[in-house]
Amino acid sequence: MPVGTSSSDLPVLLLFNLNPDWSAHEQEEVLEITSRLDKAIWSLGCQTTLAPVTNSDLDLLLARYDPHNYIVFNWCESIPGIPHSEWLVTKHLEQRGFAFTGAGSAAMALAQDKLRVKQLLDEFGIPTPQWKVFDCDSTCQWNRFPAIVKPSREHCSEGIDRNAVVKTEAELKDRVNYVLEEFRQPALVEDFIDGRELHLSLWGNNTIEMLPAAEMEFSSFGNERDRICSYEAKFVPESEQYQKIKTVLPAPLGNDELRSIERVCKTTYDLTGCRDYARIDMRIRDGDLYVIDVNPNADISPDTSTICAAELAGYSYAEFGGRILNLAALRYSIWEERIGQF
């Protein structure tokens, strides 16, 4: 059955996290964004039920719903009170037999562990920056600068700020020690690729399609420490990085470059178990490509690069959500006969 964009009568359980420890403003923001996705799915003719995850007992919440009566649109990034639990959300869904959008628990657990991802990329010859892991502050085995230091099990750029880019062994040692003490996990040190950064959104399963490439434009910054997508650049509107880093869509790329990028991205998507949709982040230096991050279940808030790329490709927000649901439903025989071409 083709994956198109018309309406359907799929009953959708929209699962999202709403942590009571967040500020009132943060909770309102999540509810507003979730409402936009809810309305978009409703506009396709789907019957949606909101299921906010507000505490650590996800299993109790899911027990209220019959897996035969709902397909889950999984927009839950974590279980409140349980760090690094995005993979656990999908594990609960799998154990209860739900059909759901996005990657499964194995792929989500892999993506959470940057060290395993790097090992996999190296094993299969996917270009990625040179790297080393440190679980103590003895950094004498690294001599490639500038470098970037990241917590090995965080995502959404947690622990990434301008001081993550280091230029000397002394700075490297200080930053590794910071990660070890602040995040209580090994530090991943990489060759810092001071070049163009591309965010490549892909979707599909048997056939994978790459949406128009988005480029993070750093021309406002002369210092390489600022030419990164830091936590502030993503989530702090009053920060200079948030205000000055621009998204260019489509990224100016030649046909040969696009073919190479698409080939690497599709291979990475398959290799890491991405499903339905994902975003691959890459950098280019001196014409060479490097995969720097893999994001299954990438953020699909209305203003993200993924949604902007989909809109450029001709999909409305509702059509994007519908296609994700369609891709998921096609993987489950119980839902395959019920889906429309949306």
Q: Where are the domains of the chain?
A: 11-108+318-336, 131-191, 194-296
**Predicted model pTM:** 0.93
Cα distance between residue 318 and residue 149, in whole Å: 38
Give how far the C-alpha of residue 169 lies from the chain's centroid of Cα atoms, to the nearest Å: 31
What Rg, from alpha-carbon coordinates, does the chain have?
20
Hey, is 90 helix, strand or coil? helix
Do the beta carbons of residue 61 and residue 98 sit within 8 Å? Answer: no
* Two tokens, residue 249: 């869509």
3-state secondary structure of 187: strand
pLDDT of residue 233: 87
Long-range contact list for 174-179, CB < 8 A, 24+ apart?
175/149, 176/134, 176/137, 176/139, 176/149, 177/137, 178/149, 179/149, 179/150, 179/151
**CATH class entry, domain 131-191:** alpha beta
pLDDT of amino acid 2 = 40
Decide if 174 contacts 139 (C-beta within 8 A): no
User: Are the CB atoms for 292 and 193 separated by under 8 Å?
Assistant: yes
Burial of 68 (0-12, 13-18, 19+ CB in 10 A): exposed
CA distance 289 to 213: 14
Task: Give kind and range of the element (H or E) at residue 151.
Answer: strand 147-151
Q: Which residues pair with 196 in a beta bridge?
A: 284
> Which of 3.40.50, 3.40.1840, 2.30.29, 3.90.1200 is the CATH number of 11-108+318-336?
3.40.50
- So what's the pLDDT on residue 334? 77
Q: How confident is the chain (342 residues) per 10-residue block, as mean pLDDT?
A: 51 96 94 96 93 97 96 96 95 97 98 97 98 82 94 90 95 95 95 98 97 96 93 89 94 98 98 98 97 97 96 97 94 73 46
Architecture (CATH level 2) of domain 194-296: 2-Layer Sandwich (3.30)
Which DSSP helix (H) or strand (E) runs through 315? none
Q: CA end-to-end span of the chain, whole Å?
A: 11
* Both structure tokens of 77: 């990034």
Distance CA 120, CA 166 (A): 26
Does this chain's domain 11-108+318-336 share its CATH topology with 194-296?
Answer: no
Burial class for 54, CB neighbours closer than 10 Å (0-12, 13-18, 19+): middle
CB of 113 within 8 A of CB of 152? yes
